[in-house]
Amino acid sequence: MRMVDLIQKKKNGGVLVQEEIDFIVKGYTKGDIPDYQMSALLMAIYFNGMNKREIADLTMAYVESGDTVDLSEVTGIKVDKHSTGGVGDKVSLIVLPLVACMGIPVAKMSGRGLGHTGGTIDKLESIKGFNTELSQEQFIFNVNKYKMAIVGQSANLTPADKKIYALRDVTATVDSIPLIASSVMSKKIASGADCIVLDVKVGSGAFVKSIDDARELATTMVEIGKSLNRETIAVITDMSQPLGHEIGNANEIKEAIEVLKGQGALDITIVSLTIASYMAVLGGAFYDFETAYQELKAIVKSGKAIDKLKQLVQIQGGNPQIIDDTDQLPYAKTHIEIKALKHGYVNSIEAESIGISAMLLGAGRKIKEDIIDYSAGITLVKKVGDKVDFGETLCILHTNTDDCIEAETIANSAYTVNDVKPKQIKYIYDVIR
Ligand code: URA
């Protein structure tokens, strides 16, 4: 088999068979196929797409390129969730204790942030002592005993996806539905989940910008799940502005605590409860979504949800006092207020720009070797639809760096204020199952 013939085939709209997909993924991962040939193939896939069988084969080729997590010793239906990525997305921090409260085991592997999007593991590490590198035995023990554990993704999980994702990032081929779908689903399959809830983000801060594309991506991933015997539900949620009011690490932990205490902003509360409810349904705790949603709301109100987060922090070595006293979380020394230059209504907040600004303040990494400042980030005082007066604070930048001019400029330009009140943003657009 020759790579050039496979590129030609895809370029001409052909369908790759399983042996050809395996040849490509193995060859590229081993280094036998060079970047320039893989780039050409990715672009051919970008323009000509893949059918359902090709996407399932690509997903399995990614899974088989590395280790898979054996969760057979965990009792019960293991439910996982995955977000296609956004700014201010602290949903995992909230749903993990919530779903565990229902007695459903959540064995979560999460990533670190890179570029303008944050990572759950970095956020948790802003809690002093929190250990995200449990041994496999401890991980399984905690899931069985407490119904929850969270660790960083193991280095050898879907290495083919990792290498190809890095190439996609520099060849303008990230926003291809077959490539996103296989990348996301391979990680979930390799992590050992029985059932999966996908949070498909749509809007300016997401990889997919239109509802139609989000539906296509969601449907594609649900079908991959079905074809691989993993019951999968995809919820399409808004990312036309950052989720919640906090973007960063320690400040996102603070906001997750507020949601679990029943004091969170509406958008992050609704999205989190929706994702958690579908997880609870797939995990067999409830027959229908509505009952699950009402029960989870009651669990938040009762204080059990926040107690479960406190337990998570405690069993993974962190300081549980931060739950009652968030002032013990890292706190930046400089706070810069970005003011409105006119009065009117906030019409949009460019999520990607806010993510980039937060990264420049120290909350994220430009390259993977960068060290995170857990106290850095942005608080969005005003969100889309809010009325603002001239000189009122739109957002506050938290940092320890002295040079914040670029971050300030970007955060400033992320906001659009107009005379006309915009239409109310929907938080949940659709559910595909
Ligand atoms: N998230 C992933 O894991 N992979 C993609 O390709 C896009 C988002």
Q: What CATH number has the domain bearing residue 386?
A: 3.90.1170.30
For 132-161, how does the pLDDT look when each residue is reduced to its tens digit (9 = 90+)? 999 999 999 999 999 999 999 888 999 999
- pLDDT at 304 (0 to 100): 98
Six token digits for residue 349: 């907040």
Q: What are phi and psi for residue 402, nearest 5 degrees?
A: -90, -25
Look at ligand 1, atom 6, and give the residue with the nearest C-alpha: 180
Atom of ligand 1 nearest to the CA of 184: 3
For 262-283, how does the pLDDT look when each residue is reduced to its tens digit (9 = 90+)? 999 999 999 999 999 999 999 9
252 and 338 fall within a common domain: no
Give the span between the Cα atoms of 44 and 40, in whole angstroms. Answer: 6
303 and 180 fall within a common domain: yes
- pLDDT at 112 (0 to 100): 80
Give the span between the Cα atoms of 234 and 221, in whole angstroms. Answer: 8
Look at ligand 1, atom 1, and give the residue with the nearest C-alpha: 84
Atom of ligand 1 nearest to the CA of 165: 6
143 and 277 fall within a common domain: yes
130 and 207 fall within a common domain: yes
* 45 CB within 6 A, ligand 1: no
299 and 347 fall within a common domain: no
423: three-class secondary structure by DSSP:
coil
Task: Supply the range of the domain harboring residue 337.
Answer: 330-418
Q: Over 70: is that where the pLDDT of 181 sits?
A: yes
Mutation to probe ligand 1, out of 207, 217, 352 (largest number of atoms < 8 A from CB): 207
- pLDDT at 37 (0 to 100): 97
Query: What is the 3 state secondary structure string of 13-69?
Result: CCCCCHHHHHHHHHHHHHCCCCHHHHHHHHHHHHHHCCCHHHHHHHHHHHHHCCECC
411 and 394 fall within a common domain: yes
74 inside domain: no
Q: Which residues are catalytic?
A: 82, 161, 168, 183, 187
For 79-95, how does the pLDDT look when each residue is reduced to its tens digit (9 = 90+)? 999 999 889 999 999 99
310 and 339 fall within a common domain: no
* 183 CB within 6 A, ligand 1: yes
DSSP H or E segment with residue 151: strand 148-152
Tell me the percentage of the chain whose pLDDT exceeds 70.
100
- State the average pLDDT over residues 170-174: 89
- pLDDT at 114 (0 to 100): 65
Tell which residue, 132, 102, 107, has the closest CA to residue 120. 132
Give the span between the Cα atoms of 23 and 375, in whole angstroms. Answer: 45
For 185-225, how does the pLDDT look when each residue is reduced to its tens digit (9 = 90+)? 999 999 999 999 999 999 988 889 999 999 999 999 999 99
Tell me the percentage of the chain whose pLDDT exceeds 90.
90
Is the four-CA dihedral 177, 181, 184, 187 of positive or negative sign? negative
- pLDDT at 155 (0 to 100): 80
Mean of pLDDT over the chain: 95
* 85 CB within 6 A, ligand 1: yes
- Given 3-state DSSP classes, what are the helix, strand and coil percentages for the chain, each rounded to the nearest 5? 45, 15, 35
Tell which residue, 94, 86, 123, 174, has the closest CA to residue 354. 86
Tell which residue, 190, 199, 201, 200, has the closest CA to residue 228. 190
273 and 210 fall within a common domain: yes
Q: What are phi and psi for residue 172, nearest 5 degrees?
A: 55, 40
For 278-316, how does the pLDDT look when each residue is reduced to its tens digit (9 = 90+)? 999 999 999 999 999 999 999 999 999 999 999 999 999
Q: Among the three residues 323, 358, 389, which one is the final residue of a domain in this structure?
A: 323
DSSP 295-338: HHHHHHHHTHHHHHHHHHHHHTT--GGGGT-GGGS---SEEEEE
Atom of ligand 1 nearest to the CA of 179: 6
242 and 354 fall within a common domain: no
CATH number of the domain at 28, please. Answer: 1.20.970.10
- State the average pLDDT over residues 10-20: 98
Six token digits for residue 400: 């320890």
Of how many residues is the chain composed? 433
Domain count, the chain: 3
- pLDDT at 168 (0 to 100): 92
Chain Cα centroid distance, residue 39: 26
Lookup result for tokens 């090709």:
54
Q: Over 80: is that where the pLDDT of 115 sits?
A: no
Ligand 1 geometric centre to CA of 246 (Å): 23
166 CB contacts (<8 Å, ≥6 apart)? Answer: none
End-to-end CA distance of the chain: 38
Tell which residue, 58, 11, 97, has the closest CA to residue 185. 58
Ligand 1 geometric centre to CA of 391 (Å): 39
Q: What is the dihedral of CA 267, 345, 355, 325, to 10 degrees?
A: -60
DSSP H or E segment with residue 346: strand 344-349
Q: Over 80: is that where the pLDDT of 257 sits?
A: yes
For residue 386, which amino acid is it?
A: D
116 and 255 fall within a common domain: yes
For 224-243, how does the pLDDT look when each residue is reduced to its tens digit (9 = 90+)? 999 999 999 999 999 999 99
- State the average pLDDT over residues 353-373: 90
- State the average pLDDT over residues 401-412: 95
* 377 CB within 6 A, ligand 1: no
Q: Over 80: is that where the pLDDT of 116 sits?
A: no
CATH number of the domain at 139, please. Answer: 3.40.1030.10
- State the average pLDDT over residues 174-191: 94
29 and 87 fall within a common domain: no
DSSP H or E segment with residue 208: none
Instruction: Specify whether the CB–CB gap between 378 and 329 falls below 8 A.
Output: no
